[in-house]
Amino acid sequence: MSILDSIKKSIFVPIHPSGLPFIIIFSLITMIIGWIWSTLFFVGLVLTLWCIYFFRNPERITPDNIDNNLVIAPADGKIIEINEIIPDEEIGLPKNKYVKIGIFMNVFNVHVNRSPMSGTILKRNYIPGLFFNASLDKASKENERLSLVMNVNNKVKIAFVQIAGLLARRIINDAQEGKKLVTGQIFGIIRFGSKVDVYIPIGSKINVLRGQTSIAGETILAEITSKK
């Protein structure tokens, strides 16, 4: 790839469709306030550029997963939690212990979410809640969230949960019950800072550490070796 191609790829990043209304509104307001008071035009321009940056949707190269046993990161961000817990009943997983991996997205991360594995959505559940900072432990239990249970094969089920944050007030999710997703496929986005939790079977080989940065659709979180 040439230097020019690299520059173009860095600048002309695709935008997630849900961001287009915001970008248009920010642009119109910038032009209006700029016409009234030129100094505010630059403030509006910065906010418009940030809005474009927030809704960016860069291409990702998902690792080959022929055996469908790799768990790929569903979100960009910082891994803030790796624990063995029994998921809340509302998520819809069997009442066993699972490994929970939590990924926190700040306002500068890409917020497009991608499927961690290939499979069929068995259950979708929206839970109203509060809007604590998504990096807090209580956010997984008390914040507004939307959970998906996926049947990876006849023996393995996983779940992933989009969690709203302090500024995130809108969870967008296109994955309905019965829908088939492939690893790395885009299924939603959370607006303005949030968290995604992934629940995988006990016995899986964990490939990441707390504090590590993940890239949605690319980072291998774990390898499922247990068939519980």
Three-state secondary-structure class, residue 58: coil
Strands 145-151 and 119-127: antiparallel
DSSP run (H or E) holding 119: strand 119-127
- CA 142 – CA 121 distance, rounded (Å): 24
Q: Is 194 a catalytic residue?
A: yes
Q: Which residue has the tokens 């997983």?
A: 93
- CA 186 – CA 106 distance, rounded (Å): 19
CB 211 within 8 A of CB 81: no
- 135, 140, 194, 214: which is the annotated catalytic residue? 194
Active site residues: 194
